């Protein structure tokens, strides 16, 4: 079916007028292309439902954990790599540039030129590029790794932060329940 802007419009989940580079906590979800189970599988055991990461899942987890090295103004909180997506909480800690250039995953710099601020989008883009690079080097048959966009939610208070952490913690069991 050809593109029809009346049928194929994308509704933004972003807060209108919100500056996504400002200090704060952000909950993000990044999904595999067509929800492919690239990153592992759910395993039910005595300790509950867990995610057994594939090699690609371990690479995605490693790239996530590397974010603060490439983006020094970002602090990671709770996260989980699921079989077909990732949930994580990011804290951005300022508009000011740190000493040196801010770099994205695998030394990709999404922040070109002077005055470009660090945003949630630039962090997610750098992460996705890092994982995609791993796929190209290790599983070249993987055509597309990620869905085009991602979900983000501005965490506005401690209660929302607690709820996001709980959601991440309970996600494997909830997904297993619905399979």
Predicted confidence pLDDT, tens digits, the chain (179 residues): 565 656 545 554 555 666 666 789 999 999 999 999 999 999 999 989 999 999 999 999 999 999 999 999 999 999 999 999 999 999 998 654 433 333 334 443 443 333 334 899 999 999 999 999 999 999 987 789 999 999 999 999 999 999 999 999 999 999 888 87
| Domain 24-177 grouped into CATH 3.30.70.1290 | yes
Contact 76, 67 (CB under 8 A): yes
What is the Cβ-side half-sphere exposure of residue 134, based on CA atoms within 13 angstroms? 21
What is residue 22's predicted lDDT score, i.e. its pLDDT? 74
- Among residues 126, 119, 123, the alpha carbon closest in space to that of 105 is found at 126
What is residue 4's predicted lDDT score, i.e. its pLDDT? 60
What is residue 20's predicted lDDT score, i.e. its pLDDT? 67
- Tokens representing residue 130 in the block: 């890092």
- What is the pTM for the complete model shown? 0.79
Which residues are registered as beta bridge partners of 24? 92
Contact 67, 86 (CB under 8 A): no
> What distance in Å separates the CA atoms of residue 65 and residue 94, rounded to the nearest whole number?
20
């Amino acid at each position: 079916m050809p593109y029809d802007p009346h049928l194929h419009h994308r509704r933004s989940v972003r807060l209108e007028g919100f500056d996504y580079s400002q200090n704060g906590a952000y909950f993000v979800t990044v999904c595999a292309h067509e929800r492919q189970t690239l990153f592992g599988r759910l395993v039910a055991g005595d300790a509950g439902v867990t995610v057994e990461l594939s090699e690609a899942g371990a690479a995605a987890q490693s790239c996530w954990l590397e974010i603060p090295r490439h983006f020094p103004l970002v602090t990671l909180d709770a996260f989980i790599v699921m079989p077909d997506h990732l949930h994580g909480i990011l804290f951005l800690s300022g508009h000011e540039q740190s000493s040196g250039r801010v770099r994205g995953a695998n030394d990709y710099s999404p922040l070109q030129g002077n005055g470009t601020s660090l945003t949630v989008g630039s962090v997610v883009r750098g992460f996705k590029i890092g994982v995609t690079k791993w796929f190209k080097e290790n599983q070249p048959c993987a055509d597309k790794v990620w869905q085009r966009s991602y979900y983000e939610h501005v965490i506005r208070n401690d209660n929302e932060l607690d709820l996001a952490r709980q959601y991440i913690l309970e996600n494997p069991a909830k997904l297993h329940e619905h399979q």
